[in-house]
Structure 1
């Protein structure tokens, strides 16, 4: 039996998220369908996590088992011939049978993109949250610093989040300005449902002067979702990469 690890890129606009569900077409469903076509049998994927409807990925990790003696390039080039233009396998490699793409992950990198432009951009409409007002990036960076470390992020998750614990560790939150684009890069050991989007929504409120930077520290202690910021739109969010210890991959 072989255990194949795929790194998948997708533009999530047309999908109801990553994970298979009854209320819409999902990325997982499409990739599993392509695998079934290529391998001639139903094949289930285990992934590093999930993304919501409209969220994108450059580095979603998913694994499956197969007894097919195909070269690794077939799991990339071959699968891509069966996938639509908005989904692609970027990498395929063989990993130990014990490898678990979710529990073995050491950290994840999410990027949220904001377009700072008073005029709408048709080309950016699916990949960035457009904000026409000026943002105070200094205040946003001061607020973002409060997220770093181990905290209870109960105030920064969706009301229907089913996670058993709300404690997570954030390693870094960086704001990168590139012309009219603002990228918010968040690295952590794990994330709750909508966590990055609520963090970004809160930072934007700081940038607009609607709350002071130190408010983030108070929200982490209060643990009350009702008083934290708005949930930023899904289309600005992208899962960039999932990191694993080297010994789990060999």
Structure 2
């Protein structure tokens, strides 16, 4: 039995997210499993490093699956990229140890979020960044970023309904780069709660626009109430860039 690791890139705008759904095959996981089942002649189920929301994108999603096939990796790569939709690309196929698990073995992830900060929208960036026409105070947003870096209880920055496990996470990097009208936010951390990046983004934008104070960050950490944070930013500006393993 082989254990195969896939590195995957996709444009999520046509899909209902990563996770397979019982009433629809219009998911990233569903599309890949369908092609792998065709390739191997086996009923294949893949394990992703985590879910991405409907409309979100990935440059470096990781998944693994078990198979009896003896097909060479290069042929598997060619087959999948030939039969998958053009907006889902397999970048790499690797044989990995039997115990490798794409979700349980992760040590961290890197995300990007893009904002088109201009009164005039962009015809080209509209599917891959949030159009935010209001002026933004980047200095205040950077102050807020510095408060978010480190180990904190991020429950107030998540859409979690249940709290069976710890909601403490560590953000190692949260930075902002501007290229003309395009703002690129980089998030690197050991893990992210449900909607955590998008809620932090909504909060940062409210701080930048002046409708929320920088001090609100500490208050949200203290009271852990989701409603005190900003709105959840739309998914189409979000990219999963990389998944880290030991």
Scaled by the length of structure 2, the TM-score of the pair is 0.96
Task: Spell out, residue by residue over 1:210-236, the C-alpha distance to the aligned partner (whole angstroms, 9 max, x if none).
Answer: 122222122111101111111000100
- Distance in 2, matches of 1:213 and 1:23, equals 43
Q: State the superposition RMSD in angstroms.
A: 1.3
Alignment partner of 1:123: what SS?
A: coil
- Distance in 2, matches of 1:163 and 1:28, equals 26
- Most deviating of 56-65 and 122-131: 122-131
Given the alignment of the two structures, is residue 217 of structure 1 paired with residue 215 of structure 2, yes or no?
A: no
- Distance in 1, matches of 2:112 and 2:164, equals 22
**For the Cα contact (< 8 Å) 1:163–1:192, is it kept in 2?**
no
**For the Cα contact (< 8 Å) 1:161–1:193, is it kept in 2?**
no
- Distance in 1, matches of 2:166 and 2:83, equals 39
Q: What are the ranges of 5 or more consecutive residues in structure 2 without an aligned counterpart? A: none
Scaled by the length of structure 1, the TM-score of the pair is 0.94
Aligned residues: 245
Structure-2 residue corresponding to 1:248: none
**For the Cα contact (< 8 Å) 2:160–2:193, is it kept in 1?**
no
Q: What are the ranges of 5 or more consecutive residues in structure 1 without an aligned counterpart? A: 246-250
Misfit runs of 4+, over 3 Å: 159-163
Alignment partner of 1:114: what SS?
A: strand
Given the alignment of the two structures, is residue 142 of structure 1 paired with residue 147 of structure 2, yes or no?
A: no
Aligned CA distance change for structure 1 residues 180 and 163 (closer, same or farther; 3 Å): farther
Structure-2 residue corresponding to 1:63: 64
Aligned CA distance change for structure 1 residues 50 and 125 (closer, same or farther; 3 Å): same
**For the Cα contact (< 8 Å) 2:42–2:67, is it kept in 1?**
no
